[in-house]
């Protein structure tokens, strides 16, 4: 890779930071290691967002395993039981989002609960709003989201 390695290395994990002092990986015990002429090999892994594995034993390369973004969603339980037919109609993210809104929530509360980026949440809420399944209300600096009566009726159809 040539150029832009700061961006790549900085985006691998919250525990990995690339800066003037080199590649910093947060760990319980602080240590400094020199790569020397060894290559840095990046290995994507299916793990939680905080997982990082580093192997310094090889004389030829240093291996750093980092979590694939979003991989933790593979084993995370959906916020609500998945309704296959509802997922087929709305898509799995929007179905889960609608089910998660048992009570009104702020955008940030919902983004945290769904573990979805705010921009992605806005996109899906725009689609649900266009279908009149959710309503948004600004209260000061926060935007609150709630299901509409139409959404309640839709969910009731799929629960039966």
Domain that holds residue 116: 77-159
CATH code where residue 154 lies: 1.10.10.10
State which of 49, 69, 89 marks the end of a domain: 69
Neighbours of 147 (CB within 10 A): 22
Are residues 45 and 13 part of one domain?
Answer: yes
Sign of CA dihedral 97, 136, 107, 8: positive
HEC assignment per residue over 50-112: CCCEEECCCCCEEEEEEECCCHHHHCCCCCCCCCHHHHHHHCHHHHHHHHHCCCCEEHHHHHH
Q: Which tens digits make up the pLDDT trace of 19-62?
A: 676 777 777 676 777 777 888 888 988 887 778 888 888 889 98
Weakest mean pLDDT among 31-35, 95-99, 110-114: 31-35
Mean pLDDT within 94-116: 90
Are residues 151 and 98 part of one domain?
Answer: yes
Instruction: Give me the number of domains the chain comprises.
Output: 2
Is residue 25 within 8 Å of 52, Cβ to Cβ?
yes
Is residue 66 within 8 Å of 13, Cβ to Cβ?
yes
State which of 69, 99, 115 marks the end of a domain: 69
| pTM (predicted TM-score) | 0.49
Are residues 85 and 65 part of one domain?
Answer: no
């Amino acid at each position: 890779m040539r150029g832009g390695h700061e961006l790549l290395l900085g985006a691998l994990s919250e525990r990995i930071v690339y800066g003037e002092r080199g590649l910093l990986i947060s760990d319980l015990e602080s240590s400094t290691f020199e790569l020397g002429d060894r290559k840095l090999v990046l290995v994507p892994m299916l793990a939680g967002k905080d997982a990082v594995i580093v192997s310094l034993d090889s004389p030829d390369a240093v291996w750093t395993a980092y979590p694939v973004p979003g991989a933790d969603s593979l084993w995370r339980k959906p916020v609500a039981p998945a309704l296959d037919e509802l997922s087929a109609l709305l898509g799995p993210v929007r179905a889960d989002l609608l089910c998660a809104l048992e009570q009104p929530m702020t955008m940030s509360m919902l983004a945290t609960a769904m573990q979805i980026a705010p921009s992605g949440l806005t996109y899906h809420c725009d689609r649900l709003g266009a279908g009149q399944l959710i309503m948004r209300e600004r209260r000061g600096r926060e935007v609150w989201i709630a299901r509409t009566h139409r959404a309640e009726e839709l969910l009731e159809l799929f629960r039966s």
